[in-house]
C-alpha cells in the first residue's frame, strides 16, 4: 500500500503517517511516496499512484491550511482518519547564527515562528518551500541558509540545531487528514464507513462536509446549523472559505461529532440537503483522541 506524504524524508507529514500507522498497529507493508507539495499528494491519489494521502489541515497557532481545504473541494477524496502531531520547530543550519542571511520553510513553518523571526532575524530574507524537510535539505547547500524544520530533519540532513523550539507558542499541534480516493474500496476496506470501533463506542465518530448556500439571504446559515442544534449534534469546527466564484461568496467547512451510520446524523444531513445549493460529504471517521494533548 503506497502512502503519499510531503517529502523529502523528515517532513511532519511523514511523522503523521508513522504515527497513524502505529495507532493502527500496522507499520509494515506500507511504502511512502514523497511528494513536492500538498497539491501533488492529491494528484497522486487522483492518478491512483498512491492509495492513501496524508496532508496537514489545521494548526493550533496558524489555523487552517488553505491549500488542503481547497483540494478537498476540488478532488474526489474521502477522509478515513485524522491524527494530531505535536510540532517542535527548530532553526537548523550548517553555518553559524550570525551568518544566516536566508531562512527557508513551509509557509506554515514561517507563520508559526513569526514572532521569533521578527525578534531575532529582522530583515533576513524568508523563502517558502513545499515542506519543512525540503527547506532542511536546501539549507545543507550554503552556510548562510537556515531552515525551520524538525529536530529529526537536522539529524537526517546533517545540520546543527541552532535554536530549538522556536514556535511562537510552546504548545503547537497540527491535525493531519488521512484520505483515499472516493469509492476506492481497496484502500478503504480496512476503515469502512460502518467502522466497528466507532459502533462499539471505542471511538467517537467525526463527520466532515462542505456546504454551499443556494443564495445569500438572512438566516441561510442559521437554518443549516439549526438542523444540528435541534438534534444536539456537536460541531467541532466551522470555517468559511472563498468559493472562488466571486468576492464575498463562500462555502462552509463543517466538522461534527457523530458518524454517518448514526441515524441522527443521517437525518440531519437528509434535511440539510434540501436547503443548500451544494453539499459535499468528505467522510466519517474515528475522531482523534489523545489525553496528553
Ligand atoms: O512541511 C512539513 O513538514 C509538513 O508536513 C507541513 C507542515 C509544516 C509546518 C507545520 C506542520 C506541518
SS3 per residue for 77-109: EEEEEEEEEECCCEEEECCCHHHCCEEEECHHH
- The one-digit pLDDT tens for each residue of the chain (293 residues) are 999 999 999 999 999 999 999 988 777 789 999 999 999 999 999 999 999 999 999 999 999 999 999 999 999 999 999 999 999 999 999 999 999 999 999 999 999 999 999 999 998 999 999 999 999 999 999 999 999 999 999 999 999 999 999 999 999 999 999 999 998 865 554 443 455 555 555 568 999 999 999 888 889 899 999 999 999 999 999 999 999 999 988 999 999 999 999 999 999 999 999 999 999 999 999 999 865 55
CA of 131 to the centre of ligand 1 (A): 6
What atom in ligand 1 is closest to the CA of residue 105? Answer: 1
Class of the CATH-defined domain 2-87+172-182: alpha beta
Note the Cα 263 to chain centre separation in Å: 28
User: Cα separation of 90 and 26, whole Å?
Assistant: 30
CATH 3.30.70.260 boundaries in the chain: 196-286
Q: Which CATH superfamily is domain 90-163 in?
A: Periplasmic binding protein-like II (3.40.190.10)
Ligand 1 pocket, residue 13 CB under 6 Å = yes
Grid coordinates belonging to 225: 446549523
Write the ipTM: 0.96
196-286 is classed CATH 3.30.70.260: yes
Whole-prediction pTM value? 0.93
Residue nearest to atom 4 of ligand 1 (CA): 12
User: Could you tell me if residue 25 is left (phi over 0), alpha (psi between -120 and 50 degrees) or otherwise beta?
Assistant: left
Mutate to test the pocket of ligand 1, among 16, 18, 55, 56 (most ligand atoms within 8 A of CB): 56
What atom in ligand 1 is closest to the CA of residue 11? Answer: 3
User: Cα separation of 184 and 187, whole Å?
Assistant: 6
**Starting from the edge strand earliest in sequence, which strands make up the sheet with 145-149, in order?**
125-128, 102-105, 145-149, 90-93, 160-163
CATH 3.40.190.10 boundaries in the chain: 2-87+172-182, 90-163
8 A C-beta contact, residue 133 and residue 35: no
Mutate to test the pocket of ligand 1, among 131, 137, 149 (most ligand atoms within 8 A of CB): 131
Residue nearest to atom 1 of ligand 1 (CA): 131
User: Cα separation of 12 and 18, whole Å?
Assistant: 10
Amino acid at each position: 500500500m503506497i502512502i503519499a506524504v510531503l517529502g523529502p524524508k523528515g517532513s511532519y507529514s511523514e511523522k503523521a503517517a508513522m504515527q497513524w500507522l502505529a495507532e493502527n498497529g500496522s507499520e509494515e507493508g506500507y511504502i511512502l511516496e514523497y511528494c513536492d507539495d500538498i497539491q501533488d499528494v492529491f494528484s497522486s491519489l487522483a492518478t491512483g499512484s498512491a492509495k492513501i494521502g496524508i496532508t496537514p489541515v489545521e494548526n493550533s497557532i496558524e489555523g487552517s491550511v488553505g491549500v488542503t481545504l481547497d483540494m478537498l473541494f476540488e478532488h474526489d477524496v474521502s477522509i478515513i482518519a485524522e491524527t494530531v502531531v505535536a510540532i517542535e520547530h527548530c532553526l537548523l543550519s550548517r553555518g553559524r547564527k550570525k551568518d544566516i542571511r536566508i531562512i527557508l520553510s513551509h509557509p506554515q513553518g514561517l507563520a508559526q515562528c513569526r514572532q521569533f523571526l521578527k525578534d531575532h532575524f529582522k530583515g533576513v530574507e524568508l523563502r517558502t518551500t513545499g515542506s519543512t524537510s525540503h527547506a532542511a535539505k536546501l539549507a545543507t547547500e550554503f552556510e548562510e541558509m537556515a531552515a525551520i524544520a524538525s529536530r529529526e530533519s537536522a539529524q537526517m540532513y546533517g545540520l546543527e540545531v541552532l535554536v530549538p523550539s522556536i514556535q511562537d507558542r510552546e504548545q503547537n499541534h497540527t491535525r493531519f487528514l488521512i484520505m483515499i480516493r472516493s469509492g476506492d474500496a481497496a484502500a478503504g476496506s480496512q476503515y469502512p464507513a460502518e467502522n466497528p470501533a466507532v459502533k462499539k463506542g471505542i471511538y467517537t465518530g467525526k463527520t466532515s462536509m462542505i456546504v454551499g448556500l443556494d443564495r445569500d439571504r438572512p438566516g441561510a446559515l442559521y437554518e443549516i446549523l439549526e438542523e444540528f442544534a435541534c438534534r444536539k449534534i456537536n460541531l467541532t469546527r466551522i470555517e468559511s472559505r472563498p468559493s472562488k466564484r466571486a468576492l464575498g461568496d463562500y462555502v462552509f467547512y463543517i466538522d461534527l461529532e457523530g458518524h454517518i451510520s448514526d441515524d441522527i446524523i443521517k437525518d440531519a444531513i437528509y434535511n440539510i440537503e434540501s436547503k443548500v445549493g451544494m453539499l459535499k460529504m468528505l467522510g466519517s471517521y474515528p475522531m482523534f483522541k489523545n489525553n496528553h494533548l
